[in-house]
Each structure stands twice: as C-alpha cells, then as structure tokens.
Amino acid sequence: MEIAIIAHDGKKTEMVQFLMDFKAVLQAKKITLISTGTTGKNAEKAGFKVEKFLSGPFGGDAQIAARVAEGKTDMVFFFRDPLGMHPHEPDIAMLMRLCDVHDVPLATNPATAELLIKSI
C-alpha cells in the first residue's frame, strides 16, 4: 500500500510525530511512503524511508495528484496549515479534488489520519 505524506511548514513537526507514533503499523503493513520534497526530508531525518517528489510550491502536490489519478496512491495524509497562505493553492485544490474524483481517502489533519491508519 502506498501512502502519500505532505505537510505545510507549520505542520511538519506534527507529521513527523505522527509517523513516529505509528511507526510500528507502517512497518508491519509494509507501507510505501511517498512525499513532497521537504516533508520527505523531514521524515528521512527521523529515520523513515520515503520516495520524495518535488517540493510542494515547485509541483510536488501536482506530482502526487497525478499518482492519485493513476491509481498508484492508496491514501493521502496532507496536514494543511489552514492559517497560512500558499502560492500553489491551485495545485493543493487539484490534489484534494482528485482524491475525491478517485475516492482516495484523504486526511487533512492528524486526528483523521489516526482514524485512517488504524483502519488498515
């Protein structure tokens, strides 16, 4: 199973903490992690193996959206910062739209991600 992890800057610490909290599940279920660039670097520093795409503002969200459209990504954990402004808002909207188009589970905060990860 492939899970995409993406976090805006204000949420990267929460993403790493989430991965640490569920490390055992990720390993036991043989989850492949993919990510936008900087989120992936943070996860790697914490010891996770991640396939990194471009950084979000440079097209990383769009690359992950394409994988969702192609049926390659099974779940998306996208910890958005609702208080921040993002120059690539159209790409963010596209990713969320394509999750809905293809009925791919999308968690936009840690509480929902926890419910999803406990379901696999």
User: Which residues are known catalytic residues?
Assistant: 61
Q: Which residues are annotated as a binding site for substrate?
A: 8, 12, 36-39, 55-56, 88
3-state secondary structure the chain: CEEEEEECHHHHHHHHHHHHHCHHHHHHCCCEEEECHHHHHHHHHCCCCEEECCCHHHCHHHHHHHHHHCCCCCEEEEECCCCCCCCCHHHHHHHHHHHHHCCCCEECCHHHHHHHHHCC
Binders of ligand 13P among residues 74 to 103 (CB under 6 A) are 86, 92
| 40-79 binders of ligand 13P (CB under 6 A) | 55-57, 60-61
CB of 3 to ligand 13P, least distance (A): 15
Shortest Cβ 82–ligand 13P spacing (Å): 12
Chain positions contacting ligand 13P, by CB under 6 A: 6, 8, 36-39, 55-57, 60-61, 86, 92
